[in-house]
A and B are shown apart, each in its own frame.
Chain A
Amino acid sequence: MRSVDARHFNRILDFDPSGIVTVEAGISLGDLYRFSVPRGWILSVMPGSPSITVGGCIAANIHGKNQFKDGNFRAVVDELRLFHPDHGELSCSDRAEQDLFNLTVGGFGLTGFITSARLKLQRLTGSAFRLRRLRVDSLEEAAVLMKGLADEVQVLYSWHDLNGHGFGRGFVYAGNQVDSPVNDSLQYEELVSETRGKWKLPLFNKLTTRLSLAAYALSQRWSSREQIVGLPQAMFPPVGKEFYFKLFGRRGLREYQVLTPNDCWPEAVKSLKALISKHRIPITLASLKIFRGRSHMLNFDGDGVCLTLDAPESDATRRFFADLDLWTESASGIVNIAKDSRLEAAFVRRVFPEYERFRTELAAFDPKHRFDSALRRRLNV
Chain B
Amino acid sequence: MSERGKTAVVVGASSGLGRALATALAERGWRLVLSARDARDLEAVAADLSSRWEAQCYPLTVELANPNFDADRFCRDCERMLDATDVVFYVAGAVDDRDDGSGDDEMVRRLVEVNYVNAVRTLAAFAKVFDDRKRGVLVGFSSIAAAAPRGQNMVYASAKAGLEAYLKALRHHLADTPVLVQGYALGYLDTAMTYGRKLMLRPVSVEAVTSEVIRNLNKDRGIKYYPRYWSLITRILRLLPWFIYKRLQF
Contacts and interface: CB of A to CB of B under 8 A. Distances in A.
Interface of A: 5, 8, 11-15, 24, 35
Contacts of B47: 11-14
B48 A12 contact: yes
Interface of B: 15, 19, 44-45, 47-48, 51-52, 192, 195
A111 B15 CA distance: 26
Nearest to A34: B52
Given A11-B47, A11-B48, 10 more contacts: A5-B195, A8-B192, A11-B44, A11-B45, A12-B48, A12-B51, A13-B44, A13-B47, A24-B44, A35-B52
A35 B47 CA distance: 14
For chain B, what secondary structure do more than half of its interface residues adopt (helix, strand, loop), or is it mixed?
Answer: helix
Contacts of B195: 5
A311 B51 CA distance: 43
Would you list the 8 A-B pairs with minimal beta carbon distance, nearest first? A11-B48, A12-B51, A11-B44, A15-B51, A13-B47, A12-B48, A12-B52, A13-B44
Q: Which of A11, A12, A24, A35 has the most CB of B within 10 A?
A: A11
Contacts of A14: 47, 51
Nearest to B196: A5
A11 B40 CA distance: 12
A13 B192 contact: no
Nearest to B15: A8
22 contacts: A5-B195, A8-B15, A8-B19, A8-B192, A11-B44, A11-B45, A11-B47, A11-B48, A12-B47, A12-B48, A12-B51, A12-B52, A13-B44, A13-B47, A13-B48, A13-B51, A14-B47, A14-B51, A15-B51, A24-B44, A35-B51, A35-B52
Contacts of A8: 15, 19, 192
Contacts of B48: 11-13
B49 to A, nearest CB: 9
A14 B49 CA distance: 10
A8 B191 CA distance: 9
Contacts of B15: 8
Nearest to B45: A11
Q: Which of B15, B19, B48, B195 has the most CB of A within 10 A?
A: B48
B80 to A, nearest CB: 26
B59 to A, nearest CB: 13
A121 to B, nearest CB: 13
Nearest to B51: A12
Contacts of A35: 51-52
Nearest to B16: A8
Contacts of B51: 12-15, 35
A5 B195 CA distance: 10
A282 to B, nearest CB: 37
A24 B41 CA distance: 11
Contacts of B45: 11
A15 B47 CA distance: 9
A35 B15 CA distance: 20
Contacts of B44: 11, 13, 24
Nearest to B192: A8
B170 to A, nearest CB: 32
A11 B23 CA distance: 11
